Amino acid sequence: MAVHGYEAVRSFCDHPQMSRNPLHAATYDADRAAERLERWPLLEGSLTSGLERGEEGLSLMRELLAPDFRPAMIRKMAATVQDVVAKVLALIQFERELDLVRLVREVPLIVITKLLGLDEATEDSELFLNAAPDYFRGINPIVPDDARDRAELAARRMTGVLERAVENRRARPRTDMVSQVLEIADGIDDATTEDVIRALVILVAAGTDTTRLTSSLAVKTLLNHPEEFERLRADRSLVKNAVMELLRYESPTKFLVRIAMDDVEWEGQTIRKGSLVLLSIFGAGWDPRVFAEPERFDVRRDLKGSLSFGFGSGYCLGVHLARLQVGEILGFYLDHLPSTATLDPSRITWDPMNLMLREVTSLPVRIR
């Protein structure tokens, strides 16, 4: 079932009886799971164990990664992010027409590899550029087996790069994030190198598609609302809030996925143990009981309580980095995308098979 209202989405995000682990699904079949694990070991491994440490425990992934995602750490990245954005988006100053989905796609990937200190990945950035979206697509419960095969291959390639990086940092520690995560892992009793690598693969996947789609959908919204675009140009102090409104108005996330671990009573009905529950982040952001006149795009809107980055114990680890990047990308568009730029809605394309994300695949913009 799917829930769309703000209160239900918020409460199920972090509900004690709702798990993110597909092992709890009613359709779970141990024989089939063993077959799947054999065919897609990296993919299934990351899904099923999910680096969870007991149902109540803080996930190992958060223990390993959270210290590096604190706001103060991310603030130090501001100049780097600005530099990456300026370089990757530079073409916009010269071309007549560009696909802005394609243009922006390298930004989150380069930023994350710089954050991790992964020179190995930036050298082979094409590999990561293709691998991260393929991997993310494979986590999607409705994709066919051949997409899962591609995702497994992607995970293997990403793992290979990360394994080499981990090996290098073990031998010669640096000040980068891979070295820091290894140091944290050494202080946790049962954390293995494999856990570190799995956490890093998930991190790369979680931080790239979401940011790319947010930035792409943002252009669509802004070109469709020229008056708000101009308001932002005139007052850059609104950019931070505009990022959150862009996320609400054209959410990159369709659904978060949960599984009921027990019968759960909700609005007079019973959600049966083992049911798949889809939480519509988009719906929550358009709930008029919380966000009045949701169809109005308003960069000055009060967005307290926004669920765009989730809620509770699984709240987005990369929230500060995401807001920084989308803000910088938006700033670049405000500087370089002329008011005369136009978007032909009939040429926008989407990938309808992506259950979790609103995957816009091309956004051709006539720049001048």
- Which window, 131-139, 179-187, 220-228, 252-260, contacts ligand HEM (CB under 6 A)? 252-260
Q: Does 309 bind ligand HEM (CB under 6 A)?
A: yes
**Cα dist. 212→25, 42, 84, 192, 358 in Å?**
30, 24, 14, 31, 11
CB of 55 to ligand HEM, least distance (A): 14
Residue 53 or 367 having the CB closest to ligand HEM: 53
> Residue 263: CB partners within 8 Å, gap ≥ 6?
270, 271, 272, 273
Q: Which of 92, 256, 264, 277 binds ligand HEM (CB under 6 A)?
A: 256
Shortest separation between residue 307's beta carbon and ligand HEM, angstroms = 7
Instruction: Please state the closest distance from residue 124 (CB atom) to ligand HEM, in A.
Output: 19
Q: How far is the CB of 246 from ligand HEM (least distance, A)?
A: 9
Distance of CA 63 to the CA centre of its chain: 19
**Contact track, ligand HEM, 182-211, x by CB under 6 A:** --------------------xx--xx--xx
Dihedrals phi, psi of 19, to nearest 5 degrees: -110, 160
Residues in CB range of 220: below 8 A, 6 or more apart = 250, 343, 348, 360, 363
Residues in the chain: 368
Q: Which residues of 112-147 are buried (b: 16+ CB within 10 A; e: fewer)?
A: bbbbbbbebbeebeebbbebbbbbbbbbbeebeeee
CB 256 → ligand HEM: shortest distance, Å? 4
Number of residues that bind ligand HEM (CB under 6 A): 28
Q: How many other β-carbons are positioned within 10 Å of the β-carbon of residue 95?
A: 13
219 binds ligand HEM (CB under 6 A): no
Query: Between residues 232 and 329, which has the closer beta carbon with respect to ligand HEM?
Result: 329
List CB contacts of 6: < 8 A, sequence separation 6 or more. 283, 284, 285, 287, 289, 290, 291, 305, 307
When asked if residue 327 is in the footprint of ligand HEM (CB under 6 A), the reply is no
Give yes or no for residue 326 binding ligand HEM (CB under 6 A): yes
Nearer to ligand HEM, 8 or 367 (CB): 8
| The one segment of 56-64, 118-126, 230-238, 347-355 that binds ligand HEM by CB under 6 A | 56-64
101 binds ligand HEM (CB under 6 A): no
Confirm or reject binding of residue 316 to ligand HEM (CB under 6 A). yes
Cα 231 from Cα 221, distance rounded (Å):
14
Of residues 303, 321, 329, 360, which one binds ligand HEM by CB under 6 A? 321
Binding site for ligand HEM (CB under 6 A): 13, 20, 59, 61-62, 112, 202-203, 206-207, 210-211, 214, 247, 252-253, 256, 281, 308-310, 314, 316-318, 321-322, 326
